[in-house]
């Protein structure tokens, strides 16, 4: 399977615990994105990387959230001191930036569903 892979698929944690999710993008893709989706809503942008550089962060990404993409390959999203409001599906996507604006579709993984009890 050469698609975007996310691990784990499901995570249940207690409030106050830290969690970390992993995303493996499509191998030749240089851009990687994190989105969050709550029930009944469309995905909301969190942050994105161009290779290993984190270029943009949404206001949704509080200081309890941190994302990394070492060596421009896989990425991790960590949430510290989880709150019940963090319960959501966390989606990762990747794309290949060929320098042509607007013409590179994002390819999404199947997400990690986080439940904070």
Partner 1 sequence: DAKTTQPTSMDCAEGRAANLPCNHSTISGNEYVYWYRQIHSQGPQYIIHGLKNNETNEMASLIITEDRKSSTLILPHATLRDTAVYYCIVRVDNYGQNFVFGPGTRLSVLP
Chain residues that interact with partner 1, rule: CB under 8 A:
4, 31, 33, 35, 40-45, 47-48, 55-56, 58, 91, 93, 95, 97, 101-111, 113
> How many beta carbons lie within 10 A of that of residue 41, not counting itself?
10
Residue 13: its H or E element? strand 10-13
Instruction: Tell me the closest approach of the beta carbon of residue 16 to partner 1, in angstroms.
Output: 27
Instruction: Tell me the closest approach of the beta carbon of residue 65 to partner 1, in angstroms.
Output: 15
**Which of 22/113 has CB closer to partner 1?**
113
**Which of 19/23 has CB closer to partner 1?**
23
> How many beta carbons lie within 10 A of that of residue 61, not counting itself?
18
Instruction: Tell me the closest approach of the beta carbon of residue 97 to partner 1, in angstroms.
Output: 5
**Which of 3/16 has CB closer to partner 1?**
3
Partners of 95 in beta bridges? 31
> How many beta carbons lie within 10 A of that of residue 10, not counting itself?
10
**Which of 77/109 has CB closer to partner 1?**
109
Instruction: Tell me the closest approach of the beta carbon of residue 48 to partner 1, in angstroms.
Output: 4
Q: What are phi and psi of 71, to 5 degrees?
A: 60, 15
> How many beta carbons lie within 10 A of that of residue 94, not counting itself?
25
């Amino acid at each position: 399977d050469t698609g975007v892979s996310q691990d784990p698929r499901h995570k249940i944690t207690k409030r106050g615990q830290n969690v970390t999710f992993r995303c493996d993008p499509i191998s030749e893709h240089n851009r990687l994105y994190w989105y969050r989706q709550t029930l009944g809503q469309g995905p909301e942008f969190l942050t994105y990387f161009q290779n290993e550089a984190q270029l943009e962060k949404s206001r949704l990404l509080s200081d309890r959230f941190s994302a990394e993409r070492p060596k421009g390959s896989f990425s991790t999203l960590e949430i510290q001191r989880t709150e019940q409001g963090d319960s959501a599906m966390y989606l990762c996507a990747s794309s290949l930036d060929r320098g042509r604006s607007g013409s590179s579709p994002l390819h999404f993984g199947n997400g990690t569903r986080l439940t904070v009890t």
